[in-house]
C-alpha cells in the first residue's frame, strides 16, 4: 500500500472504550475478596479450556460486565475482520507493504494461503522438507565436516528475531534434544560472545548456521566473518566453508557473496517478521537439536492455536481474552508492565523471548493512520521462571506501589520427576496467585499476635490480578501453542490500539548512528555530535589506548 490507509474511528471515540472508562471507575474500589465473596462460582465462570490449555482468569478485577464490554471493544475495533485479513494474506503491515503470514509457516500441506495471488504453502513445505533432509543427514553423521568427522557442535549466529526464538526453543525443548551434541548461540557483537561459544570446540566438528533475514545485520555479519576466520585458522582450506557453514536468509545474493553455496541456504520470505520467524528456517538449529519429527510437532502446536484464534468465538478465545485483559489494566488501571512467570525451568528464556515479541510489536505511539495516540500502548513484559522470582522481585508485586498483572504458567506433569519437587513447585504457583489476589488483612495479621507497630508492614493489600495457564506437559506441541498464544495476544492488543504490530522503525536510528560512529572510531575524525557524545567518544579512545 503506497497510500495512507482509510481513516478508522479513533479508539477514544468508540462507545465500548468510553463505557470501559466509566466501568473502570465503578470497579476501582472493589476488592477481589468482594468479587469472590459475591459469586461462589466465580472460579468456574472465568475460565476457558481450549486445545489443551486451561486458562483461569477469575483472579482479575473483572465482572460479567467487564468481559462484555471488553468483547464489545474487540468487535468495535474490527478484530474479526483484521484476523481474517491476516489469514487471507492481505498486506496488513502497511508501513513495510508486506503481508503478515507467520501462520502460513505452520499451515498443513493441504492449506492454501495466497500472497499476491500465489499460494505460499507449497514453498513453505519445500523448505521444511529440505531442512528435514539436511537435519537427518547431519544428525545421522552422514554429513561430514571437512576432515571427515561428523558434526558435534552447532552454533547459530544471529540476533534479535534470528536468535531469541532459537535460543528459547532450544532451552524449552532440551529434554527432546540430542544430548551428544552441543548447541550454542552467538548474537552479541561483543567478541566475548563468540569467544566463549567456541573456546572449547574444534572447528572440524562444528557447523555454523548464519541466520539473518537480511544478511546485512552488522552484529551477525561481524560474527559470521569472525567464525569464518576461526574455522579457516584450523581447517586452512576455503573449500571447508561449504561443509561448516549454512545460511538461513531471504537474501541469496548476500549469502553467495559471503561464500556460502545457495545449495546450503534455507530461505524464508519477506512476509515473515523477524520476531515471528522461529518456526521458519530460522528454526533450523531447533530442528537439528530435536529432530524433524519434533519440529513438526512444534509447528502442529502453533497451527492448533492459529486455528483456535481464527475460529473460536471471542468469549472462548484464549488470545482474545488475554489480550483484552492486558488492555484493561494497561489503559484503565495504569499498569505499566506484565510479568510472565513460567513455573517450568525449561521455559527460562520464554520471558526474554516475549520481551521482543511484545515490545518490538506494540511499542508504538503512532496509529496506523499516523496519529499520535492519546492512550497507553504496549506494556513492558518481563519475568523469570518460578520459584526463583519469588525470592527476588515478587516482593514488589505483593507489597509495592505498582500494579503488575501476572501470567502464571504451570504444567500438570514434569519431564523430570524427582521426589515431590513438582508438587512443591506447583504449590507455589497456586499460593502466589492466591496471595496476590486475597492478601492478608490487618485483622488477620493482628490475630497472629503481631505487635501493633509491625502490623502495617505485614499486611498484604491483595487485589493484585493474575491469569493462570495450565497445560499437561511441556511437549513440542505445547510449546508451539504457548508461543502462538502470545503472538495472537500481541495481535489482539495491537488491533485495539490501532498500531502496526509488524514493523520496527524504532530500531533504525541507533543502527544508522552506530555505523557512523564505528567509522569515527576506526580513524581519526572530526566529531560532530552533541557535546556529551563527543566527550564520550574521546574518552573511550583514551581508555582503549
Write down the least CB distance from residue 159 to ligand G6Q, Å.
5
- What CA–CA distance (Å, rounded) separates 9 from 2? 21
Report the nearest approach of ligand G6Q to the CB of residue 499 (Å): 15
Binding of residue 214 to ligand G6Q (CB under 6 A)? yes
Residue 391 among the catalytic residues:
yes
Q: Which among 342, 329, 336 is positioned nearest to 486, based on CA atoms? A: 342
Torsion angles phi and psi, residue 409, rounded to 5: -125, 125
**511 in catalytic set:** yes
Q: Which of 14, 120, 157, 159 binds ligand G6Q (CB under 6 A)?
A: 159
Catalytic residue among 344, 360, 384, 487: 360
Q: Which of 309, 339, 336 is nearest to 487 (CA)?
A: 309
| Residue whose CB is less far from ligand G6Q, 70 or 159 | 159
Instruction: Please indicate whether residue 446 is annotated as part of the active site.
Output: no
Minimum CB separation from ligand G6Q for residue 220, in Å?
A: 5
Helix-, strand-, coil-residue percentages of the chain, each rounded to 5 = 55, 10, 35
Instruction: Give the cell for residue 97.
Output: 507493504
CB of 98 to ligand G6Q, least distance (A): 12
Q: How far is the CB of 487 from ligand G6Q (least distance, A)?
A: 12
Q: Hey, which residues between 265 and 304 contact ligand G6Q (CB under 6 A)? A: 273-275
362 binds ligand G6Q (CB under 6 A): no
Taking CB under 6 A as the binding criterion, the range among 155-163, 168-176, 284-292, 470-478 that sits at the site for ligand G6Q is: 155-163
Q: Which residues in 217-246 contact ligand G6Q (CB under 6 A)? A: 217, 220
Beta-sheet pairing, 47-50 with 53-56: antiparallel
Residue ranges in 481-520 that form contacts with ligand G6Q under rule CB under 6 A: 504
Q: To the nearest whole angstrom, how small is the minimum distance from the Cβ of residue 489 to ligand G6Q? A: 16
Shortest reach from residue 241's CB to ligand G6Q, in Å: 19
- DSSP letters, 69-135, are HHHHHHHHTTHHHHHHHHHTT---BTTTTB---GGGGG--TT---EETTEE-HHHHHHHHHHHHHHH
Residue 476 binds ligand G6Q, judged by CB under 6 A: no
User: Contact between 468 and ligand G6Q (CB under 6 A)?
Assistant: no
Instruction: Pick one of 193, 204, 360, 407: the residue that binds ligand G6Q (CB under 6 A).
Output: 360
Q: Which is nearer to ligand G6Q, 419 or 510 (CB)?
A: 510
Q: Which stretch, 156-164, 325-333, 380-388, 401-409, contacts ligand G6Q (CB under 6 A)?
A: 156-164
Q: Give residues with Cβ within 8 angstroms of 269, minimum separation 6.
A: 101, 115, 120, 123, 250, 280
Residue among 13, 421, 511, 515 flagged as catalytic: 511
User: For residue 406, which phi and psi values (nearest 5 degrees)?
Assistant: -120, 145
Q: How many residues bind ligand G6Q (CB under 6 A)?
A: 14
Give me the sign of the Cα torsion angle 260, 265, 269, 274.
negative
184 Cβ contact partners less than 8 Å away, ≥ 6 residues apart: 153, 154, 155, 156, 197, 198
Is 162 near ligand G6Q (CB under 6 A)?
yes
Beta strands of 271-358 (E only): which ranges?
337-342
Catalytic residue among 199, 229, 391, 457: 391
Binding mask 174-213 for ligand G6Q (x = CB under 6 A): --------------------------------------xx
The nearer residue to ligand G6Q, 7 or 259, going by C-beta atoms, is 259
Q: Distance (Å, rounded) from C-alpha 288 to C-alpha 132?
A: 9
CA-CA distance, 70 to 476, in Å (whole number)?
32
- Orientation angle between helical segments 284-311 and 164-172, nearest 10 degrees: 90
**Catalytic positions:** 360, 391, 511
Residues near ligand G6Q (CB under 6 A) are 159-162, 212-214, 217, 220, 273-275, 360, 504
Amino acid at each position: 500500500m503506497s497510500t495512507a490507509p482509510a481513516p478508522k474511528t479513533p479508539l477514544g471515540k468508540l462507545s465500548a472504550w468510553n463505557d470501559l472508562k466509566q466501568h473502570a471507575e465503578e470497579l476501582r474500589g472493589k476488592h477481589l475478596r468482594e468479587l469472590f465473596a459475591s459469586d461462589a462460582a466465580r472460579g468456574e465462570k472465568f475460565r476457558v479450556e481450549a486445545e489443551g490449555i486451561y486458562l483461569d482468569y477469575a483472579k482479575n478485577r473483572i465482572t460479567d460486565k467487564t468481559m462484555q464490554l471488553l468483547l464489545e471493544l474487540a468487535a468495535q475495533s474490527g478484530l474479526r475482520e483484521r484476523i481474517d485479513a491476516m489469514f487471507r494474506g492481505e498486506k496488513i503491515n502497511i508501513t513495510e507493504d508486506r503481508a503478515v503470514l507467520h501462520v502460513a509457516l505452520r499451515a498443513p500441506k493441504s492449506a492454501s494461503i495466497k500472497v499476491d495471488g500465489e499460494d505460499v504453502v507449497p514453498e513453505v513445505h519445500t523448505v521444511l522438507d529440505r531442512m528435514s533432509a539436511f537435519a537427518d543427514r547431519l544428525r545421522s553423521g552422514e554429513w561430514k565436516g571437512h576432515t571427515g568427522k561428523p558434526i558435534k557442535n552447532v552454533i547459530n549466529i544471529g540476533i534479535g528475531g534470528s536468535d531469541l526464538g532459537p535460543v528459547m526453543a532450544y532451552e524449552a525443548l532440551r529434554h527432546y534434544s540430542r544430548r551428544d551434541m552441543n548447541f550454542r548461540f552467538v548474537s552479541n557483537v561483543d567478541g566475548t560472545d563468540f569467544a566463549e561459544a567456541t573456546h572449547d570446540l574444534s572447528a572440524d566438528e562444528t557447523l555454523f548456521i548464519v541466520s539473518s533475514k537480511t544478511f546485512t545485520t552488522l552484529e551477525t555479519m561481524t560474527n559470521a566473518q569472525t567464525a569464518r576466520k576461526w574455522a579457516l585458522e584450523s581447517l586452512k582450506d576455503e573449500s571447508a566453508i561449504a561443509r561448516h557453514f549454512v545460511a538461513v536468509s531471504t537474501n541469496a545474493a548476500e549469502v553467495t557473496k559471503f561464500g556460502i553455496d545457495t545449495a546450503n541456504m534455507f530461505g524464508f520470505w519477506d512476509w515473515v517478521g523477524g520476531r515471528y520467524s522461529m518456526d521458519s528456517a530460522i528454526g533450523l538449529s531447533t530442528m537439528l537439536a530435536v529432530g524433524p519429527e519434533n519440529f513438526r510437532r512444534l509447528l502442529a502446536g502453533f497451527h492448533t492455536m492459529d486455528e483456535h484464534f481464527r475460529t473460536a468465538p471471542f468469549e472462548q478465545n484464549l488470545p482474545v481474552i488475554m489480550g483484552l485483559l492486558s488492555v484493561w489494566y494497561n489503559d484503565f488501571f495504569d499498569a505499566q508492565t506484565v510479568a510472565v512467570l513460567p513455573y517450568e525451568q525449561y521455559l527460562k528464556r520464554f520471558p526474554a523471548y516475549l520481551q521482543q515479541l511484545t515490545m518490538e510489536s506494540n511499542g508504538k505511539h503512532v496509529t496506523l493512520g499516523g496519529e499520535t495516540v492519546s492512550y497507553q500502548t504496549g506494556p513492558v513484559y518481563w519475568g523469570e521462571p518460578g520459584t526463583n522470582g519469588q525470592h527476588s522481585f515478587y516482593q514488589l508485586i505483593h507489597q509495592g506501589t505498582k500494579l503488575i498483572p501476572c501470567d502464571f504458567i504451570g504444567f500438570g506433569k514434569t519431564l523430570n520427576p524427582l521426589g515431590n519437587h513438582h508438587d512443591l513447585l506447583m504449590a507455589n504457583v497456586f499460593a502466589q496467585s492466591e496471595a496476590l489476589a486475597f492478601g492478608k488483612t490487618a485483622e488477620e495479621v493482628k490475630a497472629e499476635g503481631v505487635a501493633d507497630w509491625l502490623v502495617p508492614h505485614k499486611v498484604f493489600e491483595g487485589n493484585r490480578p493474575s491469569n493462570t495457564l495450565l497445560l499437561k506437559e511441556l511437549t513440542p506441541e505445547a510449546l508451539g501453542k504457548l508461543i502462538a498464544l502470545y503472538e495472537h495476544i500481541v495481535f489482539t492488543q495491537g488491533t485495539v490500539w490501532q498500531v502496526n504490530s509488524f514493523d520496527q522503525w524504532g530500531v533504525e536510528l541507533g543502527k544508522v548512528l552506530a555505523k557512523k560512529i564505528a567509522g569515527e572510531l576506526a580513524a581519526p575524525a572530526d566529531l560532530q555530535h552533541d557535546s556529551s557524545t563527543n566527550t564520550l567518544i574521546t574518552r573511550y579512545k583514551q581508555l582503549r589506548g
